[in-house]
C-alpha cells in the first residue's frame, strides 16, 4: 500500500525580507518563470537562527537556506504560496492557493493603513508541510506558506517618498 500523505504545520519566528503577500504585489514570474503556471505566488524570505532552522527541518520540510547568504553567516529561507493551484483534472484546489493570512500580533487582519511590511520586520511564518510519496517511490515534502503574523513592523518607505537631501 502507498504510504499516506501527512500534513504538519510549523511556525518559525525571525526577521522577514521582501514580503510579497498580497494579490497586488505577488511575484508573477518567479525564477525562470517558475510561478507562471500558478498565476504567480506569494513569497517571503525569513532569517532563521539555528533553533528556528532545526524546528523547520524537524517538521519534515526540505527547504534549504539560500547558499549565498550562508557564506555571509546567515540562514535565509524563502517561503512560497502559489496563487492558483490547478489539479491534473483541471479543477482548482482552492485551499492550496490564494493570499496567505497576514495578521498583526493580536491576530487582526493586516490592512494597508497599518503600513507596508519592510525588510527587518519580525514575524511568525506558519507553513504547512505536506509529506508524500512520489511516483518514483521517494519521500517528498512540500512546504507552503499559510500565514504571517507581524510581531514588530519595520515600515517599508518607497524611495521617492523619502524626505531629505
Grid cell, residue 58, equals 524537524
Grid cell, residue 125, equals 511564518
pLDDT number for residue 158: 78
pLDDT number for residue 42: 98
Grid cell, residue 86, equals 490547478
Quickly tell me which residue has 520586520 as its cell. 121
Q: Report d(CA 23, CA 61) in Å as an integer.
A: 25
Q: Report d(CA 79, CA 159) in Å as an integer.
A: 26
Could you give the angle at the alpha carbon of 8 between the alpha carbons of 50 and 84, nearest 5°?
Answer: 105
Residues with Cβ within 8 Å of 137's Cβ and at least 6 positions away in sequence, in order, are none
pLDDT exceeds 90 at position 29:
yes
Residues with Cβ within 8 Å of 4's Cβ and at least 6 positions away in sequence, in order, are none
Q: Report d(CA 153, CA 83) in Å as an integer.
A: 25
pLDDT bracket for residue 101 (50, 70, 90): very high
pLDDT number for residue 23: 93
pLDDT bracket for residue 1 (50, 70, 90): low
pLDDT digits (tens, 9 = 90+) for 76-88: 999 999 999 988 8
Residue 143 and residue 127 in contact, taking contact as beta carbons nearer than 8 Å: yes
**What are the angstrom distances between the C-alpha of 89 and each of 35, 83, 128?**
19, 18, 23
Q: Report d(CA 16, CA 44) in Å as an integer.
A: 7
More confident residue, 93 or 149: 149
More confident residue, 49 or 95: 49
pLDDT number for residue 162: 53
pLDDT bracket for residue 125 (50, 70, 90): very high
Residues with Cβ within 8 Å of 84's Cβ and at least 6 positions away in sequence, in order, are 38, 39, 40, 92, 97, 98
pLDDT number for residue 4: 85
pLDDT number for residue 161: 57
Amino acid at each position: 500500500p502507498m504510504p499516506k500523505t501527512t500534513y504538519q504545520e510549523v511556525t518559525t519566528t525571525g526577521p522577514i525580507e521582501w514580503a510579497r503577500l498580497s494579490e497586488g504585489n505577488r511575484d508573477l514570474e518567479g525564477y525562470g518563470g517558475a510561478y507562471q503556471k500558478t498565476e504567480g505566488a506569494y513569497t517571503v524570505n525569513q532569517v532563521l537562527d539555528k533553533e528556528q532552522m532545526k524546528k523547520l527541518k524537524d517538521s519534515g520540510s526540505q527547504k534549504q537556506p539560500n547558499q549565498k547568504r550562508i557564506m555571509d553567516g546567515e540562514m535565509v529561507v524563502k517561503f512560497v504560496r502559489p496563487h492558483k493551484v490547478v489539479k491534473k483534472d483541471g479543477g482548482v484546489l482552492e485551499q492550496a492557493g490564494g493570499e496567505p493570512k497576514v495578521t498583526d500580533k493580536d491576530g487582526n487582519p493586516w490592512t494597508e493603513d497599518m503600513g507596508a511590511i519592510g525588510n527587518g520586520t519580525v514575524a511568525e511564518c506558519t507553513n504547512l508541510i505536506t509529506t508524500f510519496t512520489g511516483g518514483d517511490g521517494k519521500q517528498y515534502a512540500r512546504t507552503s506558506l499559510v500565514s504571517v503574523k507581524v510581531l514588530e513592523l519595520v515600515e517599508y518607505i518607497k524611495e521617492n517618498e523619502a524626505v531629505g537631501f
